[in-house]
Structure 1
């Protein structure tokens, strides 16, 4: 009997030990996910990141990475319709995907135009390709308000905003506001988008959606609206549907200038013995290097340096009008090039006959130089009457947002409310 009890105790003790035994924890093998970027598994390449230096070309970069000139010429010819290799610029970042061996020969060249856009040139196989790549961006709406204390650019800078956004606002109001004549206490509000890559990396500004500038106690509204769905070109209109853009800008300089001499056919100059020497232009004085912009779209007739004009550009806008810009430090455009209104065509300088930094702005009508400030110049196309009802409906919440710092609360449809109840 004693032996049976001892046997039972042993069996129970054994079962208890088996119960307490822990099963071994299975070992998880974590396989890292491949790093995919620009459509490539970067783990399969040697990734080389660099920046184009002054004097470097597409050819010298590839040659440095063991792709030689017969092949480089072949690549350039194959992709010329998508990417002109002659247009790579110093200061732009690029990435080379090279073979993962001791030679590290380049197989893919990625040229980054900006934070969002890139061109990918793939020559690792016999088929050479070049494609445009655009990173996914998200937009965040922002609203900013400011009060002018000195000028627009200083005020915007004090708010921590980029000069590019200042230029956007200046573009919108270039036809209705003289930024040189802003008064202390003038104010503005505008709603715009900011671009972000992966929701974290700031990638610049999007469109200015709406704005209001209070100047001399008057509210000047501006709303971005696409009136032509075929061309898909947005314009800015006021609260009455009038386009803010005119056919000609008021000035070839956006802001921070003064008119030092006006068009005057009876001007006398002491330097020439107080003789009458007509001045057939308007002088806009500004600091050397200030951008000069085309006051209207057109084709460059002349871009040269000659005599008292110094560096100058002349633009033909149509069969009636042409404009000319003198004494530039440097010209940006070439003869035959088409330029858009507001595009930079050069920079203020002191070339030719000039006593100080300025641009002499000359205005031609039917081949004769005239005073643009006394001409009744044509305006841009107005908003079509058929589009005005849709436009007024579109801007109603935008105006409310500007006036009250928030969007209106949308009231539920009456019929929908009845159905729900």
Structure 2
């Protein structure tokens, strides 16, 4: 049985309307399915768009990581630990070998460090009270050596591929001006120390005024001093004292003033406020003595010959071996021995002055040698006609003996004219600081009165 269908005159098949609707619906479905299937010639593609974002960009709601909590990609190293130092204090007689032995090191370690490529010499001059510290590496081998001379200076020796290499380290402290004043009721040493000055600073003060004041004989009860000096601080801790900046000293009612000036060559000298040097051409006394055993006198009974004879110098009693200094710059014109004088040294200072030093245990200079003020020329003794260790010191002006204790000493050179402005710029602020402190103290004293 043939299905009945109608054909047009052109050969076209005409489907019933119901069939045509069904075919159309199937065709639409097939097209929809095919449109979601990839063709054989289609490849997956991805377009990448580079976008620069700020380093701290974050998505909404995401917590921002701090540098302490944010992980760093690829960084798996741990923070290096500081060296574990083992330290020993240098004692009298120590050297690098004995110090290293106490720290458990051997002769090989001593050799490698002592032959460091740089800074070898400091290790040959170890002083008592200094420190040597060592640090070992993970293998237990010596890696670092620290030689500490003071809180501001040390040497660091580190092992490298070619042995140890040394480096000198100088730390720069903060300088803070400090003021101290005192009235002498007992002695300069006692009262100055009670006021806070160290023995080294007391000696520095005495050396500044030593050309004008005889600190062994002239100090009296009621004398006063006021001093402005630097204190050194490192990381908030006091590590020492610096220079005296300015000072006054009142002796027998007369006040002397001194202020620091740094010369063009870096040397430090002290001057009066008007530019005259505190340093004189001669030392008042050429040694640190205990007492004067015999003064200058034209009529004195000689302790050995027991007769009246002029004593044309001053006898300074001091322990045997005490250093004797040249009183000024000059040339040695005699250095020898005689029955009366024992070991002696004579020095010519220009064409006007001669100083003589008698009864020395040793002579440490020779005829014709130039000496500077303060050079050691011999030591105290009792050679020749002497009853005990002392220095007999004579001072001649144009060939005439003068009393060394009272003769007017010539000044050293004053500030040059071309340095005058720099001198004022440096010294006026220091003198003003000292005056302000003194003024404040005076005001406080008036208030309490």
Q: TM-score range, shorter-chain basis?
A: 0.5 to 0.7
Q: What's the counterpart of residue 190 of structure 2? A: 154
Greater mean alpha carbon deviation, residues 284-293 or residues 377-386: 284-293
Return the match for 1:42 from 58, 71, 83: 83
Name the SS of the counterpart of 1:405 in structure 2.
Answer: helix
Choose which of 245, 248, 251 in structure 1 pairs with 2:282. Answer: 248
Contact 1:120 1:132 in 2 (8 A): yes
Which residue, out of 83, 88, 93, partners 1:55?
93
Residue-pair matches, total: 365
Query: What is the Cα deviation at residue 119 of structure 1?
Result: 2.4
Unaligned runs of 5+ in 1: 1-26, 36-40, 409-421
**Of 156, 165, 170, which aligns to 1:134?**
170
Q: d(CA) in 2 for partners of 1:76 and 1:300?
A: 42
Which of 127, 135, 141 pairs up with 1:97? 135
CA displacement, residues 22-70 of structure 1 (integer Å, 9 cap, x when unaligned): xxxxx989x99766xxxxx415xxx22111233321233345643426x
User: Secondary structure of the residue that 2:239 maps to in structure 1?
Assistant: strand
Please name the residue that 2:229 is paired with: 192
Distance 1:394 1:143 in 2: 18
CA distance change for structure 1 residues 354 and 403 in 2, over 3 Å: closer, same or farther? Answer: same
> Residues 359 and 302 (structure 1 numbering): CA distance in 2 closer, same or farther, change over 3 Å?
same
- Asked if 1 retains the 8 angstrom alpha-carbon contact of 2:327 and 2:355, the reply is no
Q: Note if 1:261 corresponds to 2:302.
A: no
**1:405 aligned to 2:437?**
yes
User: C-alpha offsets along residues 187-223 of structure 1, whole Å, 9 cap, x if unaligned?
Assistant: 11111111122112x2221111111112233321111
Aligned residues of 2:118 and 2:167 also touching (Cα < 8 A): no
Task: Indicate the residue corresponding to 1:220 in structure 2.
Answer: 256
* Change in CA separation of 1:48 and 1:334 when aligned onto 2, cut-off 3 Å: farther
CA offset digits 1:365-416 (Å, max 9, x no partner): 99x99667287765322111333344345444433333332899xxxxxxxx
1:271 aligns with 2:310: no
- 2:33 maps to none
1:172 maps to which residue?
208
SS at match of 2:220: coil
Contact 1:248–1:296 (8 Å) recurs in 2: yes
**Other-structure match for 1:68:** 107
Per the normalisation by structure 1, the TM-score is 0.66
CA gap of 1:323–1:194, structure 2 versus 1, over 3 A, is: farther
Q: What secondary structure does 1:181 align onto?
A: coil
Larger radius of gyration: 2
For residues 343 and 194 of structure 1, the distance between their equivalents in structure 2, rounded to whole angstroms, comes to 30
Give per-residue Cα distances to partners, 1:318-364, cap 9 Å, x unaligned.
Answer: 78767658667x99x899x9997557889877788754554444669
Tell me the distance in 2 between the aligned counterparts of 1:100 and 1:362: 69
SS in 2 for 1:207: strand
1:285-338 CA distance string (max 9 Å, x none): 35789776654468999999999989x89697978767658667x99x899x99
1:83–1:130: 8 Å Cα contact kept in structure 2? no
Structure 1: distance between partners of 2:133 and 2:344: 38
Matches within 5 A, 1:292-303: 295-296=327-328
Structure 2 CA distance, aligned partners of 1:86 and 1:307? 44
Q: 2:124 aligns with which of 86, 92, 97?
A: 86
Find out whether 1:182 has 2:215 as its counterpart. Answer: no
Unaligned runs of 5+ in 2: 1-67, 71-76, 441-449
Cα pair distance change 1:270/1:172, threshold 3 Å: closer
CA distance in 1, matches of 2:400, 2:92: 43
